[in-house]
Amino acid sequence: MVDLSLEKVRPIVERALKEDIGSGDLTTKAIIPERAKGLALLTAKEDGVLAGVEVARLVFESVDGRLQYLPEMRDGDRLGYGKVIAQIRGSARSLLTGERVALNFLQRLSGVATLTAQYVEAVEGTRAKVLDTRKTTPGLRILEKYAVRIGGGENHRFGLYDQILIKENHIDSAGGIREAVESIKEKNGGVVFIEVEVNSLRGAKEALAAGVHRIMLDNMDLKSIQEVVNFVEGEVEIEVSGQVTLESIRKIAETGVDYISVGALTHSARAMDISLRLRKIGK
Which residues are part of the catalytic machinery? Answer: 100, 135, 167, 197, 218
The CA angle 231-232-234, to the nearest 5 degrees, is 135
| Closest CA relative to residue 208, chosen from 165, 238, 184, 188 | 238
What sign has the CA pseudo-torsion 76, 97, 266, 162?
A: negative
Which residues, at least 6 apart from 259, have a Cβ–Cβ distance to it below 8 Å? Answer: 128, 129, 130, 131, 154, 214, 237, 238, 239, 240
